[in-house]
Structure 1
């Protein structure tokens, strides 16, 4: 096949047909996806930042992006998502997200198989893409990598008495967000054991306000675990950055505590039925009126 021939000629592969077990020693990371639809959707959800930090270990694949100290997003895929997955220890590197997205879009939305290969520090990330219905056509992309800059570390204390967790259907939350006026500057999110259980208030440029309330008994709520009332405000521009992830999510987990830090997990449907999700951390506004 064409891509195997090219890699063979460049000395990356020593077998035109496939990567042999003995050749794994030449690579730090090798993986294969039988379809890239879910992976591509996950990468597109992270395009608000220029560079992505890749981290791969035996637990899976993670790509993290962030904007200042306000918002961070990560795509996580378990090894079971891949038809082939090999990593030597822990691998770290950065890539340009727009370049990666352009490579994934070469076949204009046609689903492809994809192989990723990485030899180590200063080596490029190699993508080999092959349309599923065109066995004689493939393309090879070589993406420059740079040394990883450590992302910020965010976390919520699972043992905190104020930790609140709700699961909501993705399409329903998407509909709620679409109802907000685009001029909205801030969102105030309240989670409470008492009515209103889940409430979102908006504040726009003319101080115009609106609110949406969802009872914990609503069909759109899949799980509601609230220990005490939490309330925090966020820039609506940051929350809108989750829209691409939300548009492909089957369900969403929202976690927060008295600190106001909001963690959101967007669960994606994958043909392998393995765990794929996009995680966002959004920091609250420092003060509330």
Structure 2
């Protein structure tokens, strides 16, 4: 019986991933073709392009058919921020999650915080042809992505600074989504990090405060006030342990918790680090408490 259940989960995962890729390719084509056509015939650039809403429509389109129907994944969201109607600049600090978790995390951020998002992503995304064409190129077309080199602080600072200063007051209504910890946490990555840091991370990885602090401080400089900081914590009740065992999440529940981050932003990224680490430790304990015990 266990073998049959594993086989069924694997088949449902494959079907879900196939549908997800097809839906993603469709919306990528809408942007890659639609934006140049609009620019050719519409001269008024004073308003945002309607194509900026496509990422939200994309995530809405995969949430039901891919996750709920194909994979049987339920979604539970606790929204303590009520930030959707707040018209101000926002920074969303989100834990990365596994490959199967992160799209539902983004869906939560867009649905409960704002649909006018700017993704702060790693520059390595351009090295993968699928991510490059389905995510990077499409988000670049609508001006909603900042690519940073995590190993080069000067480049990261310059990229963020250039984007915010170029946008000026237009950045007032935008939401900057930052994945504060390491890419796709696996058991192996956590074990390595725990040995290096003498830590005990069980579901997430040690957060990196530099990107979040830099964006918050630059927005404050451009706008004259501190942006609203919002935390989106999320994860599955049956998480992946490796990069290749995505079938584990089939039939589980994705939980998300949206909260406001209180308090003033410290004067430096190093001073912000302990605060961010403490919040990530709370996320780690919360996700462990939600895990289904097999």
TM over 0.5, shorter chain: no
- Whose RCO is larger (CA < 8 A, sep 6+)? 2
TM-score range for the pair, normalised by the shorter chain length: under 0.3
Greater percentage in helix: 2
TM-score computed with the length of structure 1 as normaliser: 0.24
Higher share in strand: 1
Report the TM-score when normalising by structure 2. Answer: 0.24
Q: Answer with 1 or 2: which has the greater Rg.
A: 1
